[in-house]
Chains A and B, each alone.
Chain A
Amino acid sequence: MADSGIGSRTTRREDKRFLTGKGRYTDDINRHGQAYAYFLRAPVAHARVTGIDTSAAETAPGVVAVFTGKDMEADGVGSLPCGWVVTDKHGQPHKAPPHFPLVRDAVRYVGDHVAMVIAESAAEAKDAAELIQVDYEELPAVVDPMQARSSQQIHEAAPENLCYDWELGDKAAADAAFAKAAHVTKLDLINNRLVPNAMEPRAAIGEWDSGTDEYTIYSTSQNPHLLRLILCAFVLGLPESRVRVIAPDVGGGFGSKIFAYAEETACTWASKKIGGRPVKWTAERGEAFLSDCHGRDHVTHCELALDADGRFLGMKVDTTANMGAYLSSFATSVPSYLYATLLAGQYTTPVVYANVKAVFTNTAPVDAYRGAGRPEATYVVERLVEIAARETGRDPAELRRLNFIKPDQFPYQTPVALMYDIGDYEPSLDKALSMIDYKGFGARKAASEARGKLRGIGLSAYIEACGIAPSAVVGSLGAGVGLWESATVRFNATGTVAVMTGAHSHGQGHETTFAQLVSEKLGIPYENVEIVHGDTGRIPMGMGTYGSRSLAVGGSAIVKACDKIIAKGKKIAAHLMEASEGDVEFANGQFTVAGTDKSKAMAEIAFTAYVPHNYPEGVEPGLDETAFYDPLNFTYPSGVHIAEVEIDPDTGITTIADWVAVDDFGNVINPMIVEGQVHGGIAQGVGQALLEHTVYDRDSGQLLTGSYMDYAMPRADNFPTFRVETTTSACTHNPLGVKGCGEAGAIASPAALMNAITDALGVEIDMPATPEKVWRAAQAKLRVAAE
């Protein structure tokens, strides 16, 4: 068991099916009699729809049905809700305009859903869609969040296209702190809009059974129960008990598959409309670019006040966040509670004030994307701190150290609502500095310069908050759901175990990590543990996977369920060994009686539970326990990433020369999986900082980066070999002492890379640091140097 328990680098059991083409994704599933849906999408960014003529499409070859928003309206289909109500600074709820799965009166972004064609084949559905005549009365479109408030209104319910004007922190106290400052660093930042680009595009099959009046939805969802809840309670008005959502293998999500979208809603509704034939839809890559929820898209002005010794006195942040054309499922929480609450970073900054204006534009909806708010916060804090160090002539590492919250200050109440339970920041900093040979940077820079290259180094000391919790707190902040997790641990009579978890794996390796955990907890072979997830018909109600919550919250639920199994096992073991329950101990899979050599193996207890011939009185047969876990607090992973870059001033090409990451994720169950998560996160952060850019045409609102020809995804040759290490301060409030690692890389890395690039260039540029931008800055620097 040593090679598969907690702490071992067990290879991922799910990889066998993934790497041999045996994964079973939604598009691999074909249902008897299935028809295919195609969505006619808005070709313009903003227009009144004055007429839709579907008659020619309806009689086209293979067409089963054509539906528009009017059909849904007649059927009482509701609006896709936003599940988090943010209260603005005047005490008013955010503006939540309707978001109908198929548009009713207007289209509001290129890709908006105009009509649905269902046909015998996807090709016929697409052919027929071309025959639909839509009358558009075009309206001016706005894509830039800074122009939103003075542009054509997009929703009746949202004057000035303002969703909310929200604040956190004490403005007067911040102003007072700034008045005392010896130095103020000011910065304007753009956090560029990203397209999530999961490898598997979204897909759905909606199926209504006319015999039982039950629905089955196959969907690429990160949280099948949440999808069921939203569709049943808000949009389609169905009883949850009649709806089963199956999210089979899912090929990446990064947040974009949390949300309830128009397409799965429409497929589910339409299946009944056409008499019960399953309706399948699979996004093309181009549709994914247009209609998956995007990430980030902030414009920020921020300021940091320092005293004469370099201590942070206060921070002020003013952000405009682009919500896109409609509010996606959790969009409003991202630039508010998942963002401004992280602005204290790892520092003792006593006062922070943030003002966030969320606005509507004629672009795809924006919602959580790997990190969701925390990358934006880290980018603000870590860019500000770095620039402050440069401006005041301090070593950036030492300025951070000076302002770190010290180990004896935990639990630490930040000025932006969060209470950090634990952290120890200097060991990560010291380890990272030593790994990258920080002292040797000057020599490396000189060597680069001798070759005509510019070299820069940049740090990012991030903090993040995972496992959004506890439910009561998030509820008080506007969340429409609870954020606990569930698990069932079910022994079979022969000693094997099925674990039903409410968390969902779409690349994270839960089938391995959770099995390692259960194997260790129950002292049974790793091979005997099977992890079941992603099917509301098989698992207890669960909240799914996002926000790096699966191990911290879902894993804790599993531990609780295991504890219940052990407690019950003790009763059975006590009976079998004729001992009192209080004397029975459990370790390494054996129940023993203190002070005797009596013992019973877990498997034997399980067998007895199901074949209870000799059984304690008053104890139920069976060994099958369910637990729900509601965390007491967020967890707070932290760490230090350092990037070193070399820039070719002739071309503007940035090469990442080295990257070190030292992360404190608390206890680690599978270091290999954790490193993989960090690698992937850094890759996405580097993508944001160096390559990825979502560009809408300012006049027409067309998406100009709608394919891989124009949207630059990072590739393996964009990276050095990452050097990844961990330090450990175990989380104090969950039973595993774990914190979460899924998003850290994407949270830490953009700031580290941009700090390195701007260190090399000596001037500020915004992300992504494209070759042309870098070249222009490098030329300016060389010109100045020559003068």
Chain B
Amino acid sequence: MYDFTYHRPSSLEEAAKLLAGAEDGKILAGGHTLLPTLKQRLAQPSDLIDLSGIKELKGISEAGGAVVVGAMTPHGDVADSSVVKARIPALAHLASDIGDAQVRHRGTIGGSIANADPAADYPAAVVGLGATVKTNKREIAGGDFFKGLFETALDENELVVSVSFPVPEKAGYAKFANPASRYPIVGVMVAKTAGGVRVAVTGAGASAFRWTEAEQALSANWSADAIKNLTHGPDGLNSDIHASAEYRAHLIGVMARRALAAAG
């Protein structure tokens, strides 16, 4: 790890100012992705701005038909939250299956989506539930947030403040975990929302994407039969030592059907 200057601001404004003022500042949330990167000397930020001192960033609330999760809320809190479990059980389930207990106690939703790992779980929920990402500057629709491999719509000095998930009528999440890392090789969120049916896929492509054929089929007929024989093509999907594009394409169908079954 190279040297850096450590800051622990107590307000969002201060954090934004520190970030803007730093030569090459980086936000530190749970550190579960950032710290290993630093230890392996793959990044050399001048400043680390730790968000853990900003109380307003942590916590879960319900407002206007949506569940709002603060950026610094760890996965374990989402998994255990009575609000999330009651209103969006699929989201609680998704969070409960991220990493292991240690990871769930440190890793945060803000860090996860800002990092935009193609194999992260949360993007399936952000896209699949039609969430809204609130930053210190604006609101970004979930579907517009992920821009590619480790790329988001966030500007240089923009911070994730919270993620607002509209409560769906029904939703289910199914994940096929990488046997080594246990990140999703393919994860699919299927939801019936006020804005229509959404099927979002993570792990399979450069970033989370919607499977429109499945959405159309389920909009017409919300039942297992509707997507029983539906297949996703392998074009453009990830291919690596763990899974070929063809296998991932197949798993998208399987996981979508399982997510649908879980949604009920």
Q: Mark the stretch among B49-57, B139-147, B173-181 that contacts chain A.
A: B173-181
Q: Which residues of B contact A705 (CB under 8 A)?
A: 180, 241
Question: A712 CA to B180 CA in the complex, in Å?
Answer: 4
* Nearest CB in chain B to that of A776: its residue: B247
Known: A704-B241, A772-B243, A775-B247. A651 touches B254 (CB 8 A): yes
**What 1/0 mask marks residues of chain B from 229 to 250 whose CB sits below 8 Å from any chain A CB?**
0000000000001111001001
Q: Closest approach, in angstroms, between the C-beta of A664 and any C-beta of chain B?
A: 33
Question: A775 CA to B241 CA in the complex, in Å?
Answer: 15
Number of B positions contacting A (CB below 8 A)? 18
Q: Which residues of A contact B183 (CB under 8 A)?
A: 709
Q: Is A695 interfacial (CB 8 A cutoff)?
A: yes
Question: A771 CA to B178 CA in the complex, in Å?
Answer: 10
Most buried by A among B180, B181, B243: B180
List, sorted by A's number, 29 A–B pairs whose CB atoms are closer than 8 Å.
A123-B1, A126-B41, A127-B2, A130-B41, A286-B40, A650-B254, A651-B251, A652-B247, A690-B179, A691-B180, A693-B241, A695-B241, A705-B180, A708-B180, A708-B181, A709-B183, A710-B181, A711-B180, A712-B178, A713-B180, A770-B179, A771-B176, A771-B179, A771-B243, A772-B242, A772-B243, A772-B247, A775-B247, A776-B247
Known: A650-B254, A695-B241. A710 touches B180 (CB 8 A): yes
Known: A123-B1, A651-B251, A651-B254. A710 touches B176 (CB 8 A): no
Across the interface, do B181 and A651 meet the contact criterion of CB distance under 8 Å?
no
Q: Which of B154-185 contact A (CB under 8 A)?
A: 176, 178-181, 183
Question: A126 CA to B242 CA in the complex, in Å?
Answer: 32
Q: Which of B176-216 contact A (CB under 8 A)?
A: 176, 178-181, 183
Q: Which residues of A contact B243 (CB under 8 A)?
A: 771-772
Given contacts A127-B2, A695-B241, A710-B242, 13 further A-B contacts (CB under 8 A): A123-B1, A126-B41, A651-B176, A651-B251, A651-B254, A690-B179, A693-B241, A704-B241, A708-B181, A710-B241, A771-B176, A771-B243, A776-B247
Q: Closest approach, in angstroms, between the C-beta of B192 and any C-beta of chain A?
A: 23
Across the interface, do B244 and A772 meet the contact criterion of CB distance under 8 Å?
yes
Question: A424 CA to B247 CA in the complex, in Å?
Answer: 46
Q: Which residues of B contact A695 (CB under 8 A)?
A: 241
Q: Which residues of A contact B176 (CB under 8 A)?
A: 651, 771
Q: Which residues of A contact B180 (CB under 8 A)?
A: 691, 705, 708-713
Q: Closest approach, in angstroms, between the C-beta of A427 and any C-beta of chain B?
A: 37
Most buried by B among A286, A651, A693, A704: A651
Question: A123 CA to B244 CA in the complex, in Å?
Answer: 39
Question: A778 CA to B139 CA in the complex, in Å?
Answer: 47
B-binding residues in A (CB < 8 A): 123, 126-127, 130, 286, 650-652, 690-691, 693, 695, 704-705, 708-713, 770-772, 775-776
Q: Which residues of B contact A127 (CB under 8 A)?
A: 2
* Nearest CB in chain B to that of A713: its residue: B180
Q: Which of B2-51 contact A (CB under 8 A)?
A: 2, 40-41
A-binding residues in B (CB < 8 A): 1-2, 40-41, 176, 178-181, 183, 241-244, 247, 250-251, 254
* Nearest CB in chain B to that of A690: its residue: B179
Q: Which residues of A contact B254 (CB under 8 A)?
A: 650-651
Q: Closest approach, in angstroms, between the C-beta of B261 and any C-beta of chain A?
A: 12
Q: Closest approach, in angstroms, between the C-beta of B101 and any C-beta of chain A?
A: 13
Question: A709 CA to B40 CA in the complex, in Å?
Answer: 14
* Nearest CB in chain A to that of B254: its residue: A650
Known: A650-B254, A651-B251, A772-B247. A691 touches B241 (CB 8 A): no
Known: A123-B1, A775-B247, A775-B250. A691 touches B179 (CB 8 A): yes
Question: A693 CA to B179 CA in the complex, in Å?
Answer: 11
Give the dominant DSSP class at B's interface.
Answer: loop
Q: Closest approach, in angstroms, between the C-beta of A453 and any C-beta of chain B?
A: 14
Q: Please pick, from A286, A704, A712, the residue contacting B179 in the complex, using a CB distance under 8 A.
A: A712
Give the dominant DSSP class at A's interface.
Answer: loop
Q: Which residues of B contact A712 (CB under 8 A)?
A: 178-180
* Nearest CB in chain B to that of A653: its residue: B176
Question: A695 CA to B240 CA in the complex, in Å?
Answer: 12
Q: Closest approach, in angstroms, between the C-beta of A201 and any C-beta of chain B?
A: 14
Q: Closest approach, in angstroms, between the C-beta of A609 and any C-beta of chain B?
A: 55
Question: A239 CA to B188 CA in the complex, in Å?
Answer: 65
Q: Which residues of B contact A693 (CB under 8 A)?
A: 241
Q: Which residues of B contact A776 (CB under 8 A)?
A: 247
Q: Closest approach, in angstroms, between the C-beta of A194 and any C-beta of chain B?
A: 14
Question: A286 CA to B178 CA in the complex, in Å?
Answer: 20
Question: A432 CA to B20 CA in the complex, in Å?
Answer: 68
* Nearest CB in chain B to that of A691: its residue: B179
Q: Which residues of A contact B247 (CB under 8 A)?
A: 652, 771-772, 775-776
* Nearest CB in chain B to that of A771: its residue: B179
Question: A705 CA to B242 CA in the complex, in Å?
Answer: 10
Question: A704 CA to B178 CA in the complex, in Å?
Answer: 15
Q: Which residues of A contact B41 (CB under 8 A)?
A: 126, 130
Q: Closest approach, in angstroms, between the C-beta of A57 and any C-beta of chain B?
A: 15
Question: A236 CA to B256 CA in the complex, in Å?
Answer: 63
Question: A406 CA to B183 CA in the complex, in Å?
Answer: 51
Q: Which residues of A contact B1 (CB under 8 A)?
A: 123
Instruction: Return the 3 tightest CB-CB contacts between A and B, nearest first.
Output: A712-B180, A712-B179, A709-B181
Q: Which residues of A contact B242 (CB under 8 A)?
A: 710, 770, 772
Question: A126 CA to B244 CA in the complex, in Å?
Answer: 37
* Nearest CB in chain A to that of B244: its residue: A772
Question: A651 CA to B176 CA in the complex, in Å?
Answer: 8
* Nearest CB in chain A to that of B179: its residue: A712
Question: A251 CA to B15 CA in the complex, in Å?
Answer: 43
Question: A710 CA to B242 CA in the complex, in Å?
Answer: 8
Q: Which residues of B contact A711 (CB under 8 A)?
A: 180
Q: Which residues of A contact B250 (CB under 8 A)?
A: 775
Q: Closest approach, in angstroms, between the C-beta of B115 and any C-beta of chain A?
A: 14
* Nearest CB in chain B to that of A123: its residue: B1
Most buried by B among A123, A127, A693, A772: A772
Question: A339 CA to B2 CA in the complex, in Å?
Answer: 48
Q: Which residues of A contact B251 (CB under 8 A)?
A: 651
Q: Closest approach, in angstroms, between the C-beta of B196 and any C-beta of chain A?
A: 27
Question: A273 CA to B180 CA in the complex, in Å?
Answer: 43
Q: Which residues of B contact A772 (CB under 8 A)?
A: 242-244, 247
Q: Closest approach, in angstroms, between the C-beta of A141 and any C-beta of chain B?
A: 18
Q: Closest approach, in angstroms, between the C-beta of B35 and any C-beta of chain A?
A: 14
* Nearest CB in chain B to that of A718: its residue: B179
Question: A709 CA to B247 CA in the complex, in Å?
Answer: 19
Q: Closest approach, in angstroms, between the C-beta of A286 and any C-beta of chain B?
A: 8
Question: A710 CA to B240 CA in the complex, in Å?
Answer: 10
Most buried by A among B1, B40, B241: B241
Question: A710 CA to B182 CA in the complex, in Å?
Answer: 10
Q: Which residues of B contact A650 (CB under 8 A)?
A: 254
* Nearest CB in chain B to that of A126: its residue: B41
Q: Closest approach, in angstroms, between the C-beta of B159 and any C-beta of chain A?
A: 27
Q: Which residues of B contact A652 (CB under 8 A)?
A: 247
Question: A711 CA to B180 CA in the complex, in Å?
Answer: 6
Question: A736 CA to B2 CA in the complex, in Å?
Answer: 57
Question: A705 CA to B181 CA in the complex, in Å?
Answer: 11
Question: A723 CA to B243 CA in the complex, in Å?
Answer: 33
Q: Which residues of B contact A130 (CB under 8 A)?
A: 41
Most buried by A among B1, B179, B241: B179
Question: A190 CA to B218 CA in the complex, in Å?
Answer: 45
Q: Which residues of B contact A713 (CB under 8 A)?
A: 180
Question: A709 CA to B120 CA in the complex, in Å?
Answer: 13
Question: A266 CA to B250 CA in the complex, in Å?
Answer: 51
Question: A77 CA to B243 CA in the complex, in Å?
Answer: 46
Q: Closest approach, in angstroms, between the C-beta of A77 and any C-beta of chain B?
A: 30
Q: Closest approach, in angstroms, between the C-beta of B189 and any C-beta of chain A?
A: 18
